[in-house]
Amino acid sequence: MIIDLRSDTVTKPSKGMLEAMMQAKVGDDVFREDETVNRLESKVAKMFGKDEALFFPSGTMANQTALKLHTNPGDQVICDKYAHIYNYESGGASFNSGVSCKLIDGDRGMFTAKQVEEAINPDAYYYSKTSLVEIENTTNKGGGACWDFNEINKIKSVCENNDLRLHLDGARLWNAMVEKSINLKAYGDSFDTLSVCLSKGLGCPVGSVLVGNSDVMKEAIRIRKIFGGNMRQVGYLAAAGIYALDNNLERLVDDHLKAKEIGVALSKLYIVKYVEKIETNIVVFELNDDFEERKFMQQLADNNIHIINMGNRKLRMVTHLDYNDDMHHKLIKTLSTFGK
């Protein structure tokens, strides 16, 4: 039994999902004739109360398209220092859109409206023009933390007052949704664009969706084409997305429960210095200064347990659809043998 906690992206399509994929009615999506893609896009748009949605092969491409939609070369984007768009998209913000990021020193990847206000450049020609604020919910590097919706609304007001656009990287928004019972339409109202991922907690093999109103989204399909993201009979993948939205949302609470139990087990170990507060399916922790990450990860690997090193001494475990009860019991038992 291999226990893979490196990411919630390691899931494989279930039997039910594969059946839904096999039965998909498809067409050439470049001609917008794939009825399953069209169905997924209108389903997601409707969930957020937005006009349009567009299916993407990756969350990175959906976010990069949003950056391009909202900025001009030379502009500046405000985001947290932990932001995925800054840390894990291969420098795409500067490569694709020619923008720089003004990093906020937030708390677990989250920041306040006041911090946004302070990060906006003055309106003088020798500054770069601040044009976009980007929020990530849940925060990946921040350990799956969930935003307070009141703060998001305050940030929305700051954006409105300063003529800034607001984008949500909602790769794991579904996790925040089940944990905090958030209202997706209220989210749709607050953001100009939102990207959501189907291939993480929801268990699809591929796919993210970008949502927004028509005035903004009319250019999105052109940018997706420029990035090479146009696809043909992709309804087979969209069918997996529809299946996941119909079947795999509510069960995310199980992943959250398991993550919290892992956190308790870890915090009992003498080699563990610190476990970040666990709100959803991500467990971020640090070892004591005199204990090497490599050694700990090797000990786990010897027991067929795989986790990820996030850098800056942070280790990460992520629970998911294919991490079952048996694996969970084995992990907790194995950790307990590492001493207290």
Ligand X SMILES: *Cc1c(COP(=O)(O)O)cnc(C)c1O
Q: Tell me which residues touch ligand X (CB under 6 A).
A: 58-60, 63, 84, 136, 140, 169, 171, 197, 208
User: Which C-beta is closer to ligand X: that of 79 or that of 159?
Assistant: 79
- Residue 58 or 233: the one with the smaller Cβ distance to ligand X is 58
Question: Could you tell me the smallest distance in angstroms from the CB atom of residue 83 to ligand X?
Answer: 8
Residues 263, 331: contact at Cβ < 8 Å? Answer: no
Q: What is the token pair recorded at 137?
A: 């919910």
Q: What is the number of the residue whose Cβ is closest to ligand X?
A: 59
Residue closer to ligand X (CB basis): 271 or 308: 308
Nearer to ligand X, 29 or 136 (CB): 136
Between 136 and 276, CB nearer to ligand X? 136
271 vs 310, beta carbon nearer ligand X: 310
Quote the least distance from Cβ 176 to ligand X, whole Å.
11
* Spatial distance between the Cα atoms of 167 and 160, rounded to a whole number of angstroms: 13
The distance of closest approach from Cβ of residue 47 to ligand X in the complex, given in angstroms and rounded to an integer, is 19
The Cα-based distances of 303 to 107, 328, 330, 338 in angstroms read 34, 13, 9, 12
Q: Using the minimum distance from each CB to ligand X, give the nearer residue, 315 or 335.
A: 315
Distances, alpha carbon 282 to alpha carbons 12, 147, 176, 188, 201, in Å: 19, 15, 12, 25, 11
The terminus-to-terminus CA distance of the chain in angstroms comes to 25
| Closer of 174 and 296 to ligand X (Cβ) | 174
Distance in Å, CB of 288 to ligand X, minimum: 28
How far is the C-alpha of 230 from the C-alpha of 219, rounded, in Å?
13
Cα dihedral sign, 32-26-197-175? positive
Region at 91 (left for phi over 0; alpha for psi -120 to 50; beta for the rest): left
Q: Which is nearer to ligand X, 60 or 76 (CB)?
A: 60
Q: In the bound complex, what is the minimum distance in angstroms from residue 127's beta carbon to ligand X?
A: 28
**Angle, to 10 degrees, between the axis of helix 235-247 and the axis of helix 15-22?**
140
Rounded least distance, CB 293 to ligand X, Å: 21
Rounded-to-integer distance, Cα 132 and Cα 168, Å: 11
Rg from Cα positions in the chain:
20
Q: Where are the alpha helices (DSSP H) in the chain?
A: 15-22, 35-47, 59-70, 84-87, 92-97, 113-119, 149-161, 173-180, 184-190, 214-217, 220-226, 235-247, 252-267, 293-302, 325-336
Q: How far is the CB of 325 from ligand X (least distance, A)?
A: 25
Q: Which two tokens mark 46?
A: 């409707």
Nearest approach, Cβ of residue 227 and ligand X (Å): 12
CB of 115 to ligand X, least distance (A): 19
